[in-house]
Amino acid sequence: MLLVEIIYKMIKVWVLVIVMFYNGFPSKGTSNSNNVTRPSTVNIGAIFSFNSTIGGVAKIAIQAAVDDINSNATILNGTKFNISMQDTKFSPGFLGIIDSLILMEKGTVAIIGPQYSEMAHVISHIANEMQVPLLSFAATDPTLTSLQFPYFVRTTQSDLYQMSAVADIVSHFQWRDVIAIFIDDDHGRNGVTALGDKLAEKRCKISYKAPIKPNNISQEEITNALIKVALMESKVIVLHLLPDFGLRVLKIAQSLGMIKSGYAWIVTDWLSTILDSNPSLLLSTSSTMNDMQGVITLRMYTPNSEIKRNFMSRWKTNLTHVNDDHHLGLNIFGLYAYDTVWTLAYALDAFFRSGGTLKFSNDSSLNTLRGDSDTLHLDTMGVFLNGDMLLQKILEVNRTGLTGRTEFAQDGNLIQSSYEIINVIGTGVRRIGFWSNSFGLHTGEQVSNDANSSEGLYSVIWPGQTTQTPRGWVFASNGRHLRIGVPLRVTYHEFVSRIEGTDMLFGGYCIDVFIAALNVLPYTIPYKFVPFGDGRTDPVVSELLEQITIGAFDAVIGDITITTNRSKIVDFTQPYIESGLVVVAPIKELKSSAWAFLIPFTPMMWFVTGMLFLIVGVVVWILERPFNDDFRGPIRRQLVTIIWFSFSTLVFAHKEKTVSTLGRLVLIIWLFVVLILSSSYTASLTSILTVEKLSSPVKGIESLVINNDRIGIMSGTYAENYLSEVFNIHRSRLVPFNSLSEFEKALKDGQDNGGVAAIIAERAYMELFLSTRCQFGIVGQEFTKMGWGFAFPRDSPLAIDMSTAILKLSENGDLQRIHDKWLTRSACSSEGAKQGIDRLETKSFWGLFLLIGIACFIALLCYLIRMTYRFRRHYYSNSTNLEVPSSSSSSCSSCLKSFFSFVNEKEK
């Protein structure tokens, strides 16, 4: 009989759909069937599955809310709720449509439900046409929005916020990839889509999606889906199912060894709903609790309040004893179902107070659907003419209920959304934090007011009874060593070289950095080095990286430059050394001139400066002569005073006093000018004598671009494509070389002798090349900013962990120590050579020394001639008083003594 009844209902529904398709849905305003402003009863409906985990609790909560409202005459001023509950029997589609039509023919003004998101999508179309608001306490699908379904009002929290909380948890524990296991319906698919969007905002992603059939799924199908998940690298699993069969998935996962150390399970709020609805689970030691040890689940947060405590007390005493042997626990959806009825009551009260009436329109096109059965009377269905007014009153409700503040946003969702983060431990649960759409993850219930609250979460006990946060991923093939590709270089063995007498042992700067980074990781990675190349020429980097894409290597290390094209096929780590392109060319040092002290000033500057000294001396002489005896006297003395005074101001050593005000003013300004001139001269001369001057016909990449000189490059590197594509240098000008000796010979030969004008290569190579070849140098600026990194397959989590390890090596100084071990040389770049360059030498000043020597010699010579001339005059004038010496020797000795005595006398 039940089958016949269902078939009969299906036929009538399809007839209704056909008639509506050809004649359209009933329009507004045709007739009124009820003109009572404040009726004695109001018909409301409820659609959910009575025997489900959520529906069983919701049925009791809704009936309790209706009883409380009807017993309180102040709520609706005497109007009573007449509620009709329809059981969908776990059918999210067809029976929900039938039940909604049954409610519509009874003049229902609002429907509480439906429970399932998939059913909400279907019934919302009918609600739109009949203008009957749907208030769902359990449909959390984020795509149920007011844009498509304006009469759908979500009185619970949207999965959009729950997925934001899950994404924040993933980001908090620094995971990058997750696996999503979800029910393959609107609820599951749309929830996982929202999760993917929220993870993308955190630079994370869903690496694998495992859908599960919503109905009649066998244990074998679940097992096969979980086996595929177990083979994935990611071990962070998000489980987004329905409460009715979610425990089956956890039980099978436990049997497959997937709930153990190394895994992280994040379960959406369906698990907390089961635990709240079945308190006996938390008191038992059955295998059910063992299947969920260490998982993290979420629960919609409702603040503690007096009315909530009173309702929970009523629930335990007399509300849940449906059967003598069964006791239902109050879950969060029961609280929202209770508040939903009260929200509708307050909205209807405001509706009636605003003059709203219960008016429905009839449409003659529905008369053809009249049948003999009393089960379904589709011809009596009508459009609720004031449905939009009631909808607006619902959205305007602002009250505090069991779940806290009920206030709707414009999109029909609750404004405040919060979740508890729960860790399942032993036979109980432990709250490790909260999440809210305003503050994210935090440890206090009210983060804005709680002084003990902080960002993040408390510690978690993970599967396997460990407090160590799971890494979140493992290698897909456990037990196999990672194959690390290493290039067999024939040059620059300081970077990568094979140790003599071995096949798989390598050394060098790149190898040491890689091993040091592995040692920093919090886990051990088995690996082996695999050489690549023939050992006669340096391997081509692009061919080496292609081995990753075909699966021959799990990673590639060495002197590999990170470029845009290479990043399209592999993932690189953080650069561990910077190595942009530079230009190397022959250089020669410019020798310092003996007259270098004249270079700071131009000839015109010297002339102007000297003339200014003389002019200032004349001006001061003119200003001081009338008052100052130091500037008076014979003409010769005055000329000497002018010259001496003006040039002595250069070193602020003038002894003449200035007594006139104008003279002092001119002198102050002049001394300031002299200070600036002397300081500028000193700085310029210091720079000229201490900075090493190098000269090269090549000035940098710009000069190479505009001429036709040949340019040397390293074979097998990206330099050839870069120079030809970016700088439009013809490939015929680019000459590849394979060894350092070829570099050196080509630079020595030069452009005119079959060599090259310059070499363009990466700085790291050229610094080693130049460390023992002082006749060459880097000219111009480094014109690219690139670096070397280790290469891994796309989306490899090891690349992220290795990048973090490289940053730690840089911060603690180990990276610099490895650099100094392999790449520091003591030839041209040694500290002693640098000190020799910066030291001033005598040859730079011999011109000044010669001038002062000549001046001193001439002054002494003039002084000696003058004194000899005066002594002769003095000697001959007194010769009559001198005795004749007995011999010539005594005569010379007496003469010298007389001369020194004469010089020692003070002149008058």
Please report which confidence band the pLDDT of residue 36 belongs to, taking 50, 70 and 90 as the band edges: very low
Per-residue model confidence (pLDDT) at position 303: 92
CA distance 422 to 460: 9
The residue-averaged pLDDT of 251-259 equals: 93
Please report which confidence band the pLDDT of residue 858 belongs to, taking 50, 70 and 90 as the band edges: confident
Per-residue model confidence (pLDDT) at position 22: 37
More confident residue, 322 or 406: 406
CA distance 817 to 825: 14
DSSP per-residue letters across 827-857: STT-HHHHHHHHS--GGGSHHHHHHHHHHHH
| Longest pairwise C-alpha distance within the chain | 177
Residue where the block lists tokens 């620094």: 174
Across all residues in the chain, what is the average pLDDT?
82
Most confident residue range from 688-692, 793-797, 887-891: 793-797
Per-residue model confidence (pLDDT) at position 320: 63
Please report which confidence band the pLDDT of residue 843 belongs to, taking 50, 70 and 90 as the band edges: low
The yes-or-no verdict on residue 675 having pLDDT over 90 is no
Tens digits of per-residue pLDDT, 483-520?
Answer: 999 999 888 889 999 887 776 789 999 999 999 999 99
Q: Which two tokens stand for residue 488?
A: 């067999």
- Would you say 132 and 387 are in contact if contact means Cβ atoms under 8 Å apart? yes
Per-residue model confidence (pLDDT) at position 784: 85
More confident residue, 625 or 533: 533
Please report which confidence band the pLDDT of residue 576 belongs to, taking 50, 70 and 90 as the band edges: very high
State percent of the chain over pLDDT 70: 82
The residue-averaged pLDDT of 834-858 equals: 55
Please report which confidence band the pLDDT of residue 18 belongs to, taking 50, 70 and 90 as the band edges: very low
The residue-averaged pLDDT of 820-831 equals: 66
Count H helices, E strands: the chain?
Answer: 30, 33
CA distance 495 to 511: 8
The yes-or-no verdict on residue 664 having pLDDT over 80 is no
Provide, for the chain, the percentages of residues in helix, strand and coil under a 3-state DSSP scheme, each rounded to the nearest 5.
45, 15, 40
Per-residue model confidence (pLDDT) at position 33: 35
The phi and psi torsions of 869 (rounded to 5 degrees) equal: -65, -45
Q: Give me the helix-helix angle, 332-353 and 270-277, nearest 10°.
A: 100
The yes-or-no verdict on residue 28 having pLDDT over 90 is no
Tens digits of per-residue pLDDT, 699-708?
Answer: 888 888 888 8
Helix (H, G, I), strand (E, B) or coil at 497: strand
CA distance 450 to 429: 23
Per-residue model confidence (pLDDT) at position 855: 59
CA distance 671 to 351: 94
Residue where the block lists tokens 């940053």: 807
The half-sphere exposure of 564 on its side-chain side, counting CA atoms within 13 A, is 4
CA distance 781 to 527: 40
- Of the candidates 795, 313, 738, the one whose C-alpha atom is nearest the C-alpha of residue 548 is 795
Please report which confidence band the pLDDT of residue 286 belongs to, taking 50, 70 and 90 as the band edges: low
Tens digits of per-residue pLDDT, 178-222?
Answer: 999 999 999 999 999 999 999 999 989 999 999 998 888 889 999
DSSP per-residue letters across 17-52: HHHHHHH-SPPSSS--S---SS-SEEEEEEEE-TTS
- Of the candidates 413, 369, 385, the one whose C-alpha atom is nearest the C-alpha of residue 147 is 413
Per-residue model confidence (pLDDT) at position 530: 93
Edge to edge, the sheet with strand 581-586 lists 734-737, 711-714, 758-762, 581-586, 776-779
Per-residue model confidence (pLDDT) at position 15: 45
Per-residue model confidence (pLDDT) at position 426: 86
Q: Which two tokens stand for residue 722?
A: 């870069």
Measured from the Cβ of residue 595, the count of other Cβ atoms closer than 10 Å reads 11
Please report which confidence band the pLDDT of residue 834 belongs to, taking 50, 70 and 90 as the band edges: very low
CA distance 159 to 299: 12
CA distance 86 to 338: 17
Please report which confidence band the pLDDT of residue 872 belongs to, taking 50, 70 and 90 as the band edges: confident
Helix (H, G, I), strand (E, B) or coil at 243: coil
β-strand partners of 483: 528
Of 202-206, 257-261, 478-482, the one with minimum mean pLDDT is 478-482
Residue where the block lists tokens 């219930």: 445
Cα 457 to the chain's mean position, in Å? 21
Residue type present at position 231:
L
Q: Which two tokens stand for residue 763?
A: 């700085």
The residue-averaged pLDDT of 558-581 equals: 92
The residue-averaged pLDDT of 414-425 equals: 92
DSSP symbol at 258:
-
Burial class of residue 144 (count of CB atoms within 10 Å of its CB; 0-12, 13-18, 19+) = buried
CA distance 84 to 47: 9
The answer, as to whether pTM is greater than 0.75, is no
State percent of the chain over pLDDT 90: 40
The yes-or-no verdict on residue 25 having pLDDT over 70 is no
Distances (CA, A) of 900 to 483, 545, 644, 875, 891: 98, 94, 30, 12, 15
Residue type present at position 879:
S
Please report which confidence band the pLDDT of residue 655 belongs to, taking 50, 70 and 90 as the band edges: low
The residue-averaged pLDDT of 218-244 equals: 92
CA distance 556 to 480: 17
The yes-or-no verdict on residue 345 having pLDDT over 70 is yes
Tens digits of per-residue pLDDT, 131-170?
Answer: 999 999 999 999 998 788 999 999 999 999 999 999 999 9
Per-residue model confidence (pLDDT) at position 451: 46
The residue-averaged pLDDT of 653-681 equals: 76
Tens digits of per-residue pLDDT, 737-790?
Answer: 888 888 889 998 988 888 999 999 988 888 888 888 888 888 888 888 889 999
The half-sphere exposure of 489 on its side-chain side, counting CA atoms within 13 A, is 27
Of 229-243, 491-505, 589-603, 734-748, the one with minimum mean pLDDT is 589-603
The yes-or-no verdict on residue 382 having pLDDT over 70 is yes
More confident residue, 683 or 59: 59
| C-alpha dihedral sign at 101, 106, 111, 114 | negative
